[in-house]
Structure 1
Amino acid sequence: MFFYKFARIIVKIILTPLFRIETIGLENIPKKGGIVLCSNHINNLDPPVVGITMKRPVIFMAKEELFNIPVLNKIIRLCHAFPVKRGKADREALRKGLETLREGKVLGVFPEGTRSKTGELGKGMSGVGFFALKSDAYVIPCAIIGTYKPFRKTKVVYGKPIPFDELRNKKTSAEEATELIMTHIKEILLQYK
């Protein structure tokens, strides 16, 4: 965790003033217990920006292709990210994600699976619903709002935990759970844009 903490400080010093990052809703983040942190995805800077605004370390699922880039591979592994094969049922990534949540850690997920080309919220993939239903973790929606233009404000808004106990007791599908999560992210986007 030393590298993560060190990198977090350096990245925070650079990005916070550059993009005038404002964080809203940190009181909604539980201090203990597993969290499925679900955010929209508008830029390659989203993971570090979420990482510097959260008070707890975030373990991200990252697209497998990033682990094929020599220097980046080392950096993201030191930051405890793990690979996921996009567009397939990646059992190893699902297992690693559940293990992260059982250990009481924060799992960072971008449910859309890729960056939005338009900035609009896309359709969520069912993997995030799987994590929400198969763990007893808190599910926290997050919205990143802004353009990442230098010296223009970027907001990171953390919503309240989405109640999932009832859905876990019913036979809710991962797709339905994902839709609920995406609805909460959309509501935050509409409220704070």
Structure 2
Amino acid sequence: MEMYKIIKSLCKVVFYPKYRIQVEGVENIPKEGPVLICSNHISNYDPIVLGITVPREIYFMAKEELFEKKVIGSFLRKLHAFPVKRGMRDRQALRRALEVLDENHTLGLFPEGTRSKDGTLGKGLAGAGFFALRSQATVIPCAIVGTYKSKDPLRVVYGKPIPMAQLRERKASSQEVTDEIMEGIRHILDKNEHN
């Protein structure tokens, strides 16, 4: 069994009972073809939680500093993570992310670019819209609802795909597309936070 599947299985054993994870909307994630999953970002654990709740293998960008230690870098690569330089336009990382989608894989993104300190949804960066426009990916908004400290279950809700055809037709900008994606995430949060 390959490393990704082994680690995913181990993380499921730990995370599902610890945070009482509940998952909704996985039927919205296509079984084949390129998929871009865009989620809010409330904890360093978020990539793991997406990794264990998405039925498909998922790729992530991770800050370059994490790859500086060889052992950790090697481990992250086995989990389909690849480095991105923060605070600047990293062409190599952009190319790699587009390759992931061109190869019909699933790319996970946190459009806010950084964790929310208070759990509220921030403004999304144009990168998410860039990947959505430059690929043929199905774009799925996702909301992680709750906190990792609460006794309540942590809910992971995958929404219906963002209708990209209309956005492409009217030649929407990357930022406009990101704003649509963020609206999709906000809608899921608003609908689920009080349930």
TM-score, normalised to structure 1, is 0.96
Alignment RMSD (CA, Å)? 1.3
Distance in 2 separating the partners of 1:72 and 1:190: 37
Question: What SS does the corresponding residue of 1:56 show, helix, strand or coil?
Answer: coil
TM-score, normalised to structure 2, is 0.95
Worse-superposed segment, 146-155 or 29-38: 146-155
Corresponding residue for residue 4 of structure 2: 4
Distance in 1 separating the partners of 2:15 and 2:150: 9
Deviation at 1:40, TM superposition (A): 0.5
Corresponding residue for residue 97 of structure 1: 97
Length, aligned pairs only: 193
Corresponding residue for residue 45 of structure 1: 45
The answer to whether the 8 Å contact 1:18/1:150 transfers is no
The answer to whether the 8 Å contact 1:34/1:101 transfers is yes
Corresponding residue for residue 130 of structure 1: 130
- Are 2:184 and 1:184 aligned? yes
Question: What SS does the corresponding residue of 1:111 show, helix, strand or coil?
Answer: coil
* Structure 1: stretches of 5+ with no match in the other structure: none
Distance in 2 separating the partners of 1:81 and 1:8: 14
Distance in 1 separating the partners of 2:102 and 2:170: 21
Distance in 2 separating the partners of 1:122 and 1:68: 29
The answer to whether the 8 Å contact 1:134/1:168 transfers is no
Structure 2 letter corresponding to 1:111: P
Distance in 2 separating the partners of 1:190 and 1:71: 40
Corresponding residue for residue 175 of structure 2: 175
Question: What SS does the corresponding residue of 2:163 show, helix, strand or coil?
Answer: coil
* Structure 2: stretches of 5+ with no match in the other structure: none
Q: 1:5 to 1:151 in 2, by over 3 A?
A: farther
Deviation at 1:70, TM superposition (A): 4.2
Structure 2 letter corresponding to 1:75: F
Worse-superposed segment, 167-176 or 2-11: 167-176
Distance in 2 separating the partners of 1:76 and 1:127: 22
